[in-house]
Chains A and B, each alone.
Chain A
């Protein structure tokens, strides 16, 4: 049950990857907020140039956002390849070599057989080359503790798939792909955060905790179990909310409801054809000029309702955790509630500023942080309920670990339930 000591530099590198991913989501948010997704119409080339050689003098208008997004995404891809190699240890060299070789060969075949897809072939060859390079790195480091290598591989495949989705969104002109691309970005960010969390010294200490500082009251057991479930359900609800948000943003129709807290002056706006015609006749937009539809109005109303539900649920979690438990659970729950309050404010500001690009992008970023916090809290509460509830200390200890003494408790705890009072 004891966890090996974490590698401090691995943790820092994982944090760097998560931060780079968050920045990538922010740049992606700017792309959508500025309606710049199609400003570079080809992919993986940029106006016929190799992406990395596209002259900065041509980074004008929306190209600035879209091209920066592509370059930053490439950097995140490299970070993830390196992270996968680091997490997987020397055992990852062989699979990396196989994947890299397959990608290089596939790229060369495309390059040779499909002349009009030369850019795609070149792109695939380039990615494969980077993967091969990672495989050739000779460090014979040990693999990180499970499930970190597996999570590394998951992010490895997702980041490549995500890059492909971004490219297909451009060349196929499909907004639906944009919605999926945005949603997968959020999930990918959560994964990088979880890797950073699990590679931390704090996670290791939670796996090797101090003896119980106080005995849990039997009356708290159902309360903790309920809290676990609500945290998990709320995190799922936040993911659903982010999907709704991505769907709204990729309609390119601006705000379907422009007032807040009411909607067209009512608690629930009319969505009959005459009302929609009226709304459209009175909308004046500069960039998001597609006419709105009844579906879009209803979508924003659902988004508002889900926002209220999330606010209530996270508020309840924070209050419950703060009142009944101490330790990380209480602290992170309160932080989570702060994020949700901030997010609700940004949501209202997005409407009141007529979807100002910086405000709307901040709304996307805080949404990503809210999801990642919920996911981290869910996993901590599920995996280390005693530590989460502050019943055992996670402070660094000198000397031998007390893990053996706690084995029974943790075995029960890892199943998601609190041990009975001893």
Chain B
């Protein structure tokens, strides 16, 4: 009985400790300035196979601007945090090829975390050809012989795991030259991609003072950095990225 009580107490305390030692950073990334208009992806619409998979116009999605000028598809991450690469058991992130487009087009993963590239297109699209463009030396050497990998319709998923941090690594399909996705590899687990209204939540951040940075592939590829003090109750960090 005593043992059980002690065990329950220990579990409760550890849970409380975990609760107090992990908080969320929330915030919004907004865009200042007027973005250029998105354009129709004519090569896709004119493609005899891929064009039939879309009923309306298909446009580029470089600037996803939502309510109150919230900027979607921005990456927010902590900088300078020492962390081990993600465990092999960490949940993989999926990058799909659907309707001759990459979905989603902006992805963030941790070093060591698996990125699964799927091909969900029907057999009328015989193949995609996943061509990655790593810039970091370690990523480049790891994939030097797998820079370009064909993926036939119905073929097995392609798995990628990167060991070096890198912003906006370009994924492209060499068969369909309008297909792009950008994968950001972060060297810690504290990052998020903003939703269509520019909102983000970075979960389970230990309390402390950090540098936090928000990047956008077009508006601010280098990013805007600020300090954030994470308390037990969490923290808020809002960013404004200016399109110059």
Contacts and interface: CB of A to CB of B under 8 A. Distances in A.
8 contacts: A38-B131, A38-B174, A47-B127, A60-B127, A173-B148, A285-B60, A287-B177, A289-B170
Interface residues of A, number: 27
Nearest to A171: B148
B39 A284 contact: yes
Contacts, number: 75
Given A38-B131, A60-B125, A62-B175, A284 B148 contact: no
Interface stretch (A84-92, A157-165, A272-280, A377-385): A272-280
Interface centre among A60, A61, A285 (most CB of B within 10 A): A61
A61 B47 contact: yes
B242 to A, nearest CB: 9
Given A57-B126, A280-B218, A34 B148 contact: no
Contacts of A287: 43, 177-178
Contact of B180 (A280, A283, A289): A289
Given A38-B148, A62-B175, A173-B147, A284 B131 contact: no
Given A47-B150, A58-B126, A289-B180, A39 B174 contact: yes
Interface in B118-154: 125-127, 129, 131, 147-150
Contact of A284 (B43, B62, B127): B62
A47 B155 CA distance: 14
B37 A284 contact: yes
Given A61-B177, A281-B244, A283-B36, 6 more contacts: A34-B177, A41-B148, A41-B174, A60-B49, A281-B218, A282-B36
A39 B218 contact: no
B41 interface: yes
B10 interface: no
B180 A63 contact: no
Contacts of B178: 286-287
A39 to B, nearest CB: 5
Interface in B24-83: 36-44, 47, 49-50, 60, 62
A35 interface: yes
A283 B39 CA distance: 10
A36 interface: yes
Q: DSSP majority for the B interface?
A: loop
A63 B126 CA distance: 11
Contacts of A281: 218-219, 243-244
Contacts of B150: 41, 47
A37 to B, nearest CB: 8
Contact of B42 (A35, A277, A286): A286
B203 interface: no
Given A60-B49, A60-B126, A286 B174 contact: no
Contacts of A285: 60
B54 to A, nearest CB: 14
B176 interface: yes
Interface of A: 34-36, 38-39, 41, 47, 57-58, 60-63, 173, 274, 277-278, 280-287, 289, 291
B41 A63 contact: no
Nearest to B48: A60
Contact of B175 (A39, A278, A280): A39
Contacts of B43: 34, 286-287
B60 A284 contact: yes
Contacts of B47: 61
Nearest to B242: A281
A10 B108 CA distance: 62
Given A34-B177, A41-B174, A61-B177, A277 B38 contact: no
A274 B129 contact: no
A62 B177 contact: yes
A311 B179 CA distance: 39
B34 to A, nearest CB: 10
Contact of A286 (B60, B173, B175, B221): B60
Contacts of B62: 284
A280 B218 CA distance: 7
A62 B176 CA distance: 6
B243 A60 contact: no
Contact of A35 (B38, B125, B170, B177): B177
Given A41-B150, A281-B244, A36 B126 contact: no
Contacts of A173: 147-148
B37 to A, nearest CB: 7
B132 to A, nearest CB: 11
Given A282-B36, A286-B60, A289-B180, A62 B174 contact: yes
A-B complex: 10 closest residue pairs judged by Cβ atoms: A35-B177, A38-B174, A61-B175, A41-B148, A287-B177, A39-B174, A61-B176, A286-B41, A282-B36, A278-B244
Contacts of A34: 43, 177
Contacts of A35: 177
Contacts of A278: 244
A274 B222 CA distance: 12
B177 A36 contact: yes
B216 to A, nearest CB: 9
A286 B129 contact: no
Interface centre among A34, A57, A63 (most CB of B within 10 A): A63
A34 to B, nearest CB: 6
B148 A277 contact: no
A409 to B, nearest CB: 58
A276 to B, nearest CB: 11
A280 B41 CA distance: 18
Contacts of A57: 126
Contacts of B129: 38-39, 41
Interface in B148-170: 148-150, 170
Nearest to B244: A278
A58 B127 contact: yes
A284 B243 CA distance: 13
